[in-house]
Amino acid sequence: MSGVAPLLSSRGLRVGIAERIFCRELTLAVHAGECLAILGRNGAGKSTLLSVLAGLREPEAGEVLLAGSSYADLGARASALLRGWLPQERSEAFSSTVLETALVGRHPHLARWDWESETDARIARQALASVGLAELAQRDVQTLSGGERQRLAIATLLAQAPQLYLLDEPLAHLDLNHQIATLELFARLAREQPLACVMVLHEPGLAARFCTHALLLFDDGTTQLGPCGEVVNSDSLSRLYGYPLREVGDKGQRWFMPA
């Protein structure tokens, strides 16, 4: 990766709300081909940090760069072409079809007065197929279950086709098979495109299995960042979650259970 600017980087980043500091002096670099998991207890600031990395919230100090440029220098449209954002909470205020909703992801690629083309529709349909929603393309989004809406949000992001995916709890509302399918999808995209992912997760075993790196947010505002093989272990996780955990393994996979 020498000489190639990371898709996402931060220097001296300080993030907090009111008197609570979630991280201080955070320096990170996420390159194409990498998946970074953000782990921490409830209230540790995972979502707040991700919103700062997405350029949606100002840090208390430091800077965030997207492919070597600030969000301010890039502007909204150029930023959206580079970075996709999956928020933790969403709502569909208006009735629309599943396909029409997925097509929203193509808007950063359109000029101000452009309509979606057949190419845009094809990309949106491919995105729906990748999350198992192809047969629901003409369904009204208001009739979808919570898990189907989550998969549609992911499909909309895939239709956007950014280089960097920032995912706040992408597994929310998904049953087990769709959780694994979602993580397999983003891990494969990171390897093959290549692109990069940063995602908030709650299960450290899934982070160890599907992500290349992990960022641990401790309650005192300190952090631990590195390859999953180095930082996702029983000692660091016991400190992170405030409860003793032990590691178990099978066929090269690592999982963590209460001791």
Cβ(14)–Cβ(21) below 8 Å: yes
Alpha-carbon span 1 to 229, nearest angstrom: 20
At residue 1 the predicted structure's pLDDT band, cuts being 50, 70 and 90, is very low
Give me the pLDDT at residue 93, please: 63
Cβ(231)–Cβ(214) below 8 Å: yes
Percent of the chain with pLDDT over 70: 98
Instruction: Indicate the helix (H) or strand (E) that contains 197.
Output: strand 196-200
Alpha-carbon span 201 to 204, nearest angstrom: 7
Residue 173 backbone zone (phi > 0: left; psi -120 to 50: alpha; other: beta): left
Give me the pLDDT at residue 3, please: 65
Give me the pLDDT at residue 134, please: 97
- What sign results for the dihedral spanned by CA atoms 194, 163, 87, 117? negative
The SS3 call for residue 30 is strand
Which class in CATH covers the domain with range 8-67+163-258?
alpha beta
Give me the pLDDT at residue 90, please: 75
Q: What residues contact 111, with CB distance under 8 A and at least 6 apart? A: none
At residue 92 the predicted structure's pLDDT band, cuts being 50, 70 and 90, is low
- Cis bond before residue 59 (omega within 30° of 0): no
Give me the pLDDT at residue 91, please: 72
| pLDDT tens, position by position, 34-69 | 999 999 999 999 999 999 999 999 999 999 999 999
| φ and ψ at residue 91, rounded to 5 degrees | -150, 150
Please determine, for residue 168, whether its predicted confidence score (pLDDT) is greater than 60.
yes
Residue of 198, 220, 209, 211 lying closest to 247 (CA atoms): 209
Give me the pLDDT at residue 251, please: 82
Instruction: Indicate the helix (H) or strand (E) that contains 29.
Output: strand 20-30
Please state the rounded mean pLDDT for residues 215-220.
96
67 vs 91, more confident: 67
Q: What is the reported pTM?
A: 0.95
Domain limits, CATH 3.40.50.300, in the chain: 8-67+163-258
Give me the pLDDT at residue 105, please: 96
Please state the rounded mean pLDDT for residues 5-12.
95
Residue of 48, 41, 50 lying closest to 240 (CA atoms): 41
92 vs 129, more confident: 129
Q: Name the residue type at position 13.
A: L
Q: Considering only 43-52, 93-102, 135-144, which range has the smallest mean pLDDT?
A: 93-102
Mean pLDDT of the chain: 94
Alpha-carbon span 82 to 5, nearest angstrom: 13
| pLDDT tens, position by position, 24-33 | 999 999 999 9
Give me the pLDDT at residue 89, please: 81
